[in-house]
């Protein structure tokens, strides 16, 4: 597991969190707007919702915009998690391959030393027998 976050990763998570929190605030405002026991002409949330709808030219309420922003923030966070997790896995695999190469190099060196020792050790004298003369 990673001990530290890179600056890019941290900034990405913060941005996606801010977008998701903005969506959550809009959802709460939309719910409060719908459940206020006030005449619509005196409901300041309803009036601001109508102003936003006319300004943007899109007939979406605070609640619907909140869902969009929250989904966008979550999608960005999931993409960031996948990208940085893949990057961390590559780093772990790279370290494991380096360790395996280092271990195999040590094994090769020990095998070479053992072979050299076998060659350098005097072999047991072989008794030479003369062929029988007939």
Cα gap 9→91, rounded to integer Å: 15
Torsion of CA 79, 84, 89, 92, to 10 degrees: -170
Q: Supply the pTM of this predicted model.
A: 0.66
For 76-126, write each residue's pLDDT tens digit.
999 999 999 898 888 888 888 888 877 777 766 666 666 666 666 555 565
Model confidence at 130: pLDDT above 70: no
State the pLDDT at residue 94.
85
Count, residues in the chain = 134
Mean pLDDT of the chain: 84
């Amino acid at each position: 597991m990673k001990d530290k976050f890179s600056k890019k990763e941290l900034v990405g998570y913060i941005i996606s969190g801010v977008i998701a929190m903005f969506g959550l605030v809009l959802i709460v405002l939309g719910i409060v707007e719908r459940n206020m026991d006030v005449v619509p002409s005196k409901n300041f949330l309803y009036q601001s919702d109508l102003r936003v709808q006319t300004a943007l030219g899109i007939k979406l309420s605070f609640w619907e915009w909140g869902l969009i922003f929250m989904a966008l923030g979550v999608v960005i966070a999931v993409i960031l998690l996948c990208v940085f997790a893949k990057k961390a896995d590559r780093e772990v695999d790279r370290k494991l391959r380096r360790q395996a190469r280092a271990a195999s190099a040590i094994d090769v060196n020990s095998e070479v030393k053992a072979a050299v020792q076998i060659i350098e050790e005097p072999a047991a004298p072989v008794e030479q027998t003369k062929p029988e003369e007939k």
